[in-house]
Amino acid sequence: MYLAINILGLVVFLALGWVFSNDRKGIQWKSVGCMVALNLIIAWLLTSFEGGRVVVKAAADGFAWIVNISYQGINFALANWVGADGTNPTPVNFIASALLPILLIVPLFDILTYIGFLPWVIKWIGRGLSFITRRPKFETFFAVEMMFLGNTEALAVSKVQLRRMKAGRNVTLAMMSMSCITAAIVGSYIQMVPGEFVITAIPLNCINALIVSHMLYPVSVTAEEDVIYSTAMDVDVLEGLPEEERAKREKAIADYNALPWYRKVYRRDPAQPAKEPFFSFLGDSILSGGRLILIITANVIAFVALAGLIDKVLALFWNQLSLESILGVIMYVPSLLLGLDPGTAWDMSQLMGLKLVTNEFVVMGQITGDIATYATHYKAVLTVFITSFANFSTLGMVIGCFKGMVAKEKNDAISKQVGRMLVAGILVSLLSAAMVGLFCW
């Protein structure tokens, strides 16, 4: 029976995308069907197929291995917080176990970017995804980019594209930005919740973001508009160059673009800016990791404290009233539709609501000691749902990021769709959880 409810839930969540759509007639159902089928196959491969489970376990173990290596550096500076091998002592607090490893993981991913490996992976996965899903090239490229870089980072490196695209496509990208995580903090997640479900959630969120953003805000893209612009096409940059140098650069880019695809694989794209010295780059990367830790720590402290304050204020009116209970009522039906019994659905609905008003770290920190004892289905749908940045604070971050990069007309278009942006983040998480739930019992 619960499997049938889970299937019904998947249909209902897709139907909600149609209900809240800005242009129901503009939805390309063939494309949506292709993406749903692809995601169901991925969910099955990563949860039920032996080879897929091996890959997921290997990826989770790989992140755990990197985290364990990071403890050597943490132990050197803060010996009483964690042992060099993660034991004697085990991490004494949330910062030592989940956040400080970021100081190794962020530079590691940045080094992969510096040598060109990560951009190469993103480019070719994005092209393959565009071919399969029939979505515009940049939207699929951006979905993959978010999977590795995170929302604000992916937006920042896409500034030229955002400025050249029409307002509607900017709105689509803003909706997609509500549903990502960044690979650099996967290591933090798997210290608190089952790593195999965290890894599974990442590609599912990527494709579900394409599904939901298209359903909520369909945008027609012509062949002429379906172009990926490079940083060298930034008008501000080109106008700052001497005429002779600008002509040379434009010729080099044109020659590169004329090459067949297989020759582009091993040729450097002249559109890319010159690299800064490696150790200067590495130093900036480490500082970026440090800032990220401070931001996460500040957010967790502030949101937990604010949630506690709200609970105390609500208790003045009725001692049973709390933020979790209010949000639990709102999210109760979606929780039931994930194939959970009423009691478990109530527990999950409160965690879902808490995640939306705070962030995923708050919820993961709350359940980390007990999640190993949960039933497999509950463990799977809960972990997948909370593995994303979808919350109110992300909404502000995304809007602020666009304000600093695009014209007022595009910002106004995005601001008018704030409600749909929040719905997009919630629906993507629900779809991913429902898809994984079909195969985990």
Contact call for residues 169 and 176 (beta carbons, < 8 A):
no
In percent, the amount of the chain with pLDDT more than 70 equals: 90
pLDDT of residue 294: 82
The tokens for 166 are 């029409």
Contact call for residues 407 and 372 (beta carbons, < 8 A):
no
* Residue located via tokens 């490079």: 230
pLDDT classification of 15: cutoffs 50, 70, 90: very high
Q: Which of 210, 193, 214, 202 lies closest to 149 in space, CA to CA?
A: 202
Q: Which of 205, 204, 197 lies closest to 379 in space, CA to CA?
A: 197
Helix, strand and coil percent figures for the chain, each rounded to 5: 75, 0, 25
The string of pLDDT tens digits covering residues 20-29 is 998 888 888 9
pLDDT at residue 434 is higher than 50:
yes
Question: Cα–chain-centroid distance for residue 367?
Answer: 21
pLDDT classification of 232: cutoffs 50, 70, 90: very low
pLDDT of residue 70: 85
pLDDT classification of 435: cutoffs 50, 70, 90: very high
200/195 Cα distance (integer angstroms): 9
Report the pLDDT averaged over residues 176-186: 78
Report the pLDDT averaged over residues 108-115: 81
Mean pLDDT of the chain: 82
Q: Which of residues 8 and 310 earns the better pLDDT score? A: 8
DSSP string covering 155-215? HHTTHHHHHHS-HHHHHHHHHHGGG---GGGHHHHTTTS-HHHHHHHHHHHHHHHHHHHHH
pTM above 0.85, yes or no: no
